[in-house]
Amino acid sequence: MIKPGAAHALLHSIKNRGLAAWVLAALFTGFYLVLYFTEWFSPLAQAIGLGSKWTLYGTLYTLAVTAGGIHVIRKYRHNRYQVVRTIVVIVVQATFAYSIPMLLKFLHQPEYYLSYFWPLKLDYLTPSYIFSLPLPFIIYSFVGSLVLVPILAAFFGKRWYCSWVCGCGGLANTFGEPWRHLSDKSTTSWKIEKVTIYAVLGITVVLTALLFISYGAGKANPQLVRTTGEFQSYYGLIVSSLLSGVVGVGLYPLGGTRVWCRFACPMAALLGLVQKVGRYRITVKKDMCISCGMCSKYCEMGIDVRSYAQANQSFTRASCVGCGICSEVCPRGVLNLENVSSRDPQESKLIQIQEVAATRPLI
């Protein structure tokens, strides 16, 4: 039901794929197209003393995360997980993804984003780029991308990155809050997601391997260097610009906030695989679900959480970014995010109870 009043009707339209949502999606998409493929923003950026359009973009992005984050903190102020997580998201964005790179540049160091890693940021394992940086950056990139990120994901799930650190996730969980419920919950979209996201991951891995090969053996094989270069520029255009920017944010008001994270992000794909064998899971309290569906409705990754909850099934889905909103909106406190440690005797007792529950008949 829509309350009378123009402001409410407009808000309803924006949040529920009404006309206003389509207009806004067009504006967002247009903004990204102009940003990526023209220089129209450059004079504006220089006029207000921000140097380049990318600095202007970074400033807007940080402002959006901060303003949206404050809204989210107020909205979920009774939930400590949401408050802590959102504060971290804002701080990481404002420092690692904004002021530190600017400071580095000011100090005539490479403009390096400490919160980004391969495979999300292909450059950071692109040998021709990364080996041109000072040694500490090389070490940070390799250790971070190949060791630190997966190990933390094994212990805490991909959430430590996807909804605590990552800028894409940060924007989704702050500025994107009004649209989180628009993700498609159907089994069909789950099937599509599994194909597309692992396809992108595969392409990213192959490209990275080619980049290393052509870096090492390029002199002997100029054709390989040329082909790899073309491959890389198509990748940059399609994956980095179109999918993560134009589609990823442009579709917020129509497809929800995690379209990029869910269907295309190679980092999410990789960490999802780690998550499946790691400790993170969503624990379902036995027999307490009332099938209301709030969890599924507000899952930004389109996971049908209710189907697990009403079947008494604790679960780990590769796509789950651990935002914790399913647990927040559940009116009966059925769901809880946990890092299950089999070495903790208290935990294992609980798991036994849960597993008995899980073997009961369906629904």
Partner 1 sequence: MHYVIIGNGVAGVTAAFALRKRDPHAEISVIGGESDYFISRTALMYAFMDRMNLRDLEPFERQSYTKQNITLLRGWVSALDASSRILRLADGRNLSYDKLLLATGSIPNPAPWPGLATAKSGLVNFVSLQHLAECERLAPTTRRAVVAGGGLIGVELVECLHHHGIQVDFLVRDAWYWPMALAPEEGELIADHIRHHGVNLLLGHEITEVKTDTNSRVSAVRTSQGGELPCQMLGACIGVRPAIEWLREVQTPPALGRGIKIQSDFRTSLPNVWAAGDCAELPTGQVEQIWYSAKRQGELAALSMLGDTVNYTPPLFFNSAKLFEIEYTTVGVRGAESFFRRLPGKNVSIRIMHDQGAVTGFNMLGSRWNHTWFEKWIHERRDLPYVLKNLHLAQFDVEFGRVSLSALGVAS
Residue type, 222: P
Nearest distance from C-beta of residue 223 to partner 1, angstroms: 50
- The residue from 27, 84, 91, 237 that contacts partner 1 (CB under 8 A) is 84
Question: What Cα–Cα distance (Å) separates residue 47 from each residue in 43, 44, 52, 56, 219?
Answer: 6, 5, 10, 11, 44
Burial of 362 (0-12, 13-18, 19+ CB in 10 A): exposed
DSSP-derived 3-state class of residue 339 = strand
80 binds partner 1, rule: CB under 8 A: yes
Binding mask 3-42 for partner 1 (x = CB under 8 A): xx-------x------------------------------
Instruction: Compare residues 223 and 346 and give the one whose CB is closer to partner 1.
Output: 346
Binding residue count for partner 1, defined by CB under 8 A: 47
Distance (Å, whole) CA 109 – CA 356: 57
103 binds partner 1, rule: CB under 8 A: no
- The residue from 42, 46, 59, 79 that contacts partner 1 (CB under 8 A) is 79
Closest alpha carbon to 347 in 281, 270, 261, 277: 281
Instruction: Compare residues 257 and 354 and give the one whose CB is closer to partner 1.
Output: 354
Instruction: Compare residues 119 and 324 and give the one whose CB is closer to partner 1.
Output: 324
Distance (Å, whole) CA 29 – CA 85: 28
DSSP-derived 3-state class of residue 335 = strand
331 binds partner 1, rule: CB under 8 A: yes
Instruction: Compare residues 90 and 97 and give the one whose CB is closer to partner 1.
Output: 90
Stretch that binds partner 1, among 45-53, 207-215, 251-259, 281-289 (CB under 8 A): 281-289
DSSP-derived 3-state class of residue 214 = helix
214 binds partner 1, rule: CB under 8 A: no
* CB-based burial, 12-25: b 16+ in 10 Å, e otherwise: bbbbeebebbeebb
Question: What Cα–Cα distance (Å) separates residue 73 from each residue in 38, 65, 69, 82, 164?
Answer: 36, 12, 6, 7, 14
Nearest distance from C-beta of residue 120 to partner 1, angstroms: 25
363 binds partner 1, rule: CB under 8 A: yes
Name residue 283's beta-bridge partners: 336
Instruction: Compare residues 176 and 245 and give the one whose CB is closer to partner 1.
Output: 176
Kindly give, in sequence order, each residue whose CB lies less than 8 Å from that of residue 273, ignoring residues fewer than 6 positions away: 318
345 binds partner 1, rule: CB under 8 A: no
Instruction: Compare residues 73 and 122 and give the one whose CB is closer to partner 1.
Output: 73
349 binds partner 1, rule: CB under 8 A: yes
Residue 42 DSSP code: H
To 5 degrees, how large is the angle CA 74–CA 57–CA 176? 35
- The residue from 18, 293, 316, 358 that contacts partner 1 (CB under 8 A) is 293
Residues that bind partner 1 (CB under 8 A): 1-4, 12, 78-84, 186-187, 285-288, 290-294, 296-297, 304, 306-307, 310, 324, 327-328, 331-333, 336-338, 346, 349-350, 353-354, 357, 361-363
